[in-house]
Structure 1
Amino acid sequence: MRAVGIILAGGNSEKMQELSYKRAIAAMPVAGSYRSIDFALSNMTNSGIQKVAVLTQYNSRSLNEHLSSSKWWDFGRKQGGLYVFTPTITVENDSWYRGTADAIAQNLDFLRQCHEPYVVIASGDGVYKLDYGRVLEYHIEKKADITVVCSNLPQGDNITRFGVVRMNPDGKITDFEEKPESAHGDMVSTGIYIIRRRLLIELLEKAQQQNRFDFVKDILVPYRTLKRMYGYRMDTYWRNISTVDAYYQTNMDFLKPAIRDYFFRQYPNVYSRIEDLPPAKYNPGAAVKNSLVSSGCIINGTVENSVLFKKVYVGNDCTIKNSIILNDVYIGDHTHIENCIVESRGTIQADSSYIEKEGIRIVVEKNERYIL
């Protein structure tokens, strides 16, 4: 494919609350065995993009470990490959990434050394499948300077956390408003863009000179009428997970057979780093209904309408309902958890009760699992 890929994975969101204290949003576990960034990486490799740069910054240790081997996404190759760029202090630069545009600008040498004429920019916090090649064909057909992939926001989602887009019948963007207090319409930017490489370098160099650091606010919005900017309508599943409610709902969506079939059984595949774990074990007395249970789990109690990530232990006479249990959680006997997200590597003591009547509760326990 005639494009190089850039994945913006360095951001943090206060709307994720405690879930972002130990990891970047792009490293959030999704659908039992995946990370959020797996979807963008899989889309890149499935689209034939052979060279991808991932820009990390905030709480990047977990994400960097996940990306330590590029073979899982078929980027282990002599030409191209997967590059992970973190902020680097140099003689000319003494700051961290100050925004999405600045993150790319601090790595302009990577773009200058590329030969591909186009750049595909994607965020690491989206859950979706998309052939970027089709978007590039649309971009070329429209003779666009910049193409923004757009999607209709599901009813009930908070539109004020997205960029709201308006297009004419031909697909040309007539207005682009970033995170408005109120908006008419439900067409939003998915954070996926295609732009000519030389134009991107030119715009970033100008932004640097003017101390402008945000890709949307300081580049897309000001140039919406100065450049040929088109919107590509995405009519398949897309979700952004950067709030607690959105993260919870996205995982709950994977309990629907149609969503599981779309992501796990229909081509192309979604890839992730694989751990050598045994299959889930269901002991006598276990009862599981409409749930995702990942490898390494041991179930002794009742699990309903829930997503259990890797290496979760559920004790005797436990009840887990409408909840997400992240990796490596030990749940003691006679525990009731409902409408919660339990943080990873926690120990829930026996006879505990976490029941949320309204909204979603985040449970963070740091109890010692083994006491000598």
Structure 2
Amino acid sequence: MLTNYLGIVSLTENENRLKSLTATRPLASIPIFGRYRVIDFVLSNLVNAGVTNVGILVPTKSRSLIDHVGTGKPWDLNRKVDGLYIFNYSYEPPSTSDIKLLKSNMEFLLRSKKEMVIFASSHMICNIDFEDVAKFHEESGAEVTVVYKKIANEDELFLELPTLILDQNSNVMGVGKNIGRRTTVNISLDMFVLSKEFLIDCILTCLENGNCTTFRDFIYKNIQNINLKAYEFKGYVGCINSISSYFKVSMDMLNVDIQRELFSEQRPIYTKSNDSPPTRYFSTCEVENSFISNGCLIAGKVKNSIISRGVVIEKDAIVENSIIFSKCIIKSGAILKNVILDKNVVIDENATLIGHNKNPLVMEKQSFINLSQLKEVKRI
């Protein structure tokens, strides 16, 4: 167990291609697979490896994240010693500089008795054993170890992400960007292992030179001066960096093999619990290859879809290849295919919404559901 490690989760991720889902929330708190949030995976990976001290760097728009993570109780991080810390949660103008966030909260690093750091982002969906990564790092003698995934056939999920050029001994010799021209690339997963002392030195050097705003940029711009090793992760990885990638990763989770790997009994994924009654399935419903959360009323047809808590799907409604966030109402006769409904959306009777299977139609979050709309929901 990594009792000498602290975790830092930096949420300074590029949300430009996710604006329909991140208008009121950070990428990390986007709902995924019905009952989870994106950040649940990296937090669970850390605590499953024995990390008990985690700091989350949040640039802005963090109300939903604070509501979900809370004191860290689902991850056993509500502790008197160490535990969970969330930094810079406010509605101030957004910042993409985790170096500034770290400098502003340097006391977190200095007060921690941990000597090693796992530095990660939230947008990589995987179930990784950080104990294996830490062991590789310690045995290699590297100053920094970065985790990567070898991707064949230029998977479109990983476009624009950093690629690593490696030698035969897993040393990082150069860093590029995946623009879709190579058949095989080594994609950086934005996960790093290093000493706390080295991290503090990186922060101070960045502030002194003023040429890097993020920790990741500093590492990649100084690979000639850093002993940087790469650890290959061979399991499933989904990257959330666009609406299409979010849709594909979500649909991947309906694959039983991927589902078993991500939600392993040995390394479970924890999340905030929500005490809801069981979903009620009416005699008129048809459900095929779908994940349906608790608290729903299902009377229509659901196929290849992910349904969050508290959703109502009336009789004769059809939901196919779609993702429905919590408390949506889909009325009788409505047809939805390749659609993402954010929270509290009401779809009228006999409405038809059809998107492309690689570019789904997104209905943005509604701040509330009108009481008159609730009254109009037919008894199923």
**Under TM normalisation by the shorter chain, which class is it?**
over 0.9
Q: 1:98 to 1:13 in 2, by over 3 A?
A: closer
Amino acid at match of 1:139: H
Q: 1:348 to 1:171 in 2, by over 3 A?
A: same
Q: Give yes or no for contact 2:59–2:95 (8 Å, CA) kept in 1.
A: yes
Q: Residue deviations 1:35-76, cap 9 Å, x none?
A: 010011101110001100011123111001111131100112
Q: What SS does the aligned partner of 1:221 have?
A: helix
TM-score (norm 1): 0.93
1:118 deviates by 0.9
Q: Give yes or no for contact 1:159–1:186 (8 Å, CA) kept in 2.
A: no
* Corresponding residue number in structure 1 for 2:145: 147
Q: What SS does the aligned partner of 2:44 have?
A: helix
Q: 1:274 to 1:87 in 2, by over 3 A?
A: closer
Q: What SS does the aligned partner of 2:51 have?
A: coil
Q: 1:326 to 1:161 in 2, by over 3 A?
A: same
Q: Give yes or no for contact 1:117–1:198 (8 Å, CA) kept in 2.
A: yes
Q: 1:109 to 1:88 in 2, by over 3 A?
A: farther
* Corresponding residue number in structure 2 for 1:352: 351
Amino acid at match of 1:370: L
Q: Give yes or no for contact 1:164–1:183 (8 Å, CA) kept in 2.
A: no
Q: 1:364 to 1:162 in 2, by over 3 A?
A: same
Deviates more, 1:203-212 or 1:10-19: 10-19
Q: Give yes or no for contact 1:10–1:24 (8 Å, CA) kept in 2.
A: no
CA distance in 1, matches of 2:360, 2:33: 17
CA distance in 1, matches of 2:240, 2:301: 27
Q: 1:294 to 1:182 in 2, by over 3 A?
A: same
Q: 1:295 to 1:96 in 2, by over 3 A?
A: same
| 2:44 maps to 1:74 | no
* Corresponding residue number in structure 2 for 1:308: 307
* Corresponding residue number in structure 2 for 1:172: 171
Q: Residue deviations 1:216-264, cap 9 Å, x none?
A: 22x1122211110000000011111121111001110111111122233
Q: Residue deviations 1:305-329, cap 9 Å, x none?
A: 0111111110110000111111111
* Corresponding residue number in structure 2 for 1:36: 38
The 5-angstrom pairing of residues 8-157 of structure 1 reads 8-86=10-88, 97-153=95-151, 155=153, 156-157=155-156
Q: 1:179 to 1:109 in 2, by over 3 A?
A: farther
1:117 deviates by 1.5
Amino acid at match of 1:67: V
Q: Give yes or no for contact 2:127–2:263 (8 Å, CA) kept in 1.
A: no
Q: What SS does the aligned partner of 1:144 have?
A: coil
Q: What SS does the aligned partner of 1:39 have?
A: helix
CA distance in 1, matches of 2:282, 2:183: 53
Q: 1:290 to 1:180 in 2, by over 3 A?
A: closer
Deviates more, 1:170-179 or 1:333-342: 170-179
1:364 deviates by 3.0
Q: Residue deviations 1:78-112, cap 9 Å, x none?
A: 321011111689xxxx9864423333232222111
* Corresponding residue number in structure 1 for 2:378: none
Q: 1:184 to 1:259 in 2, by over 3 A?
A: closer
Structure 1 unaligned regions, length at least 5: none
1:363 deviates by 1.9
Identity %: 24
* Corresponding residue number in structure 2 for 1:213: 213
* Corresponding residue number in structure 2 for 1:370: 371
CA distance in 1, matches of 2:12, 2:220: 22
Q: 1:196 to 1:273 in 2, by over 3 A?
A: same
Structure 2 unaligned regions, length at least 5: 376-380
* Corresponding residue number in structure 2 for 1:242: 241
Q: What SS does the aligned partner of 2:202 have?
A: helix
Q: What SS does the aligned partner of 1:269 have?
A: coil
* Corresponding residue number in structure 1 for 2:275: 276
Deviates more, 1:156-165 or 1:24-33: 156-165
* Runs of 4+ displaced beyond 6 Å: none
Q: 1:357 to 1:34 in 2, by over 3 A?
A: closer
| 2:329 maps to 1:327 | no
Amino acid at match of 2:99: A
1:354 deviates by 0.1
Q: Give yes or no for contact 2:60–2:89 (8 Å, CA) kept in 1.
A: no
Amino acid at match of 1:216: R
The 5-angstrom pairing of residues 222-233 of structure 1 reads 222-233=221-232
Amino acid at match of 1:7: V
Q: 1:182 to 1:59 in 2, by over 3 A?
A: farther
Amino acid at match of 1:37: I
Q: Give yes or no for contact 2:321–2:337 (8 Å, CA) kept in 1.
A: yes
Q: What SS does the aligned partner of 2:332 have?
A: coil
CA distance in 1, matches of 2:213, 2:351: 47
CA distance in 2, matches of 1:88, 1:243: 24
Paired residue total: 367
Q: Give yes or no for contact 1:281–1:296 (8 Å, CA) kept in 2.
A: yes
CA distance in 1, matches of 2:285, 2:228: 55
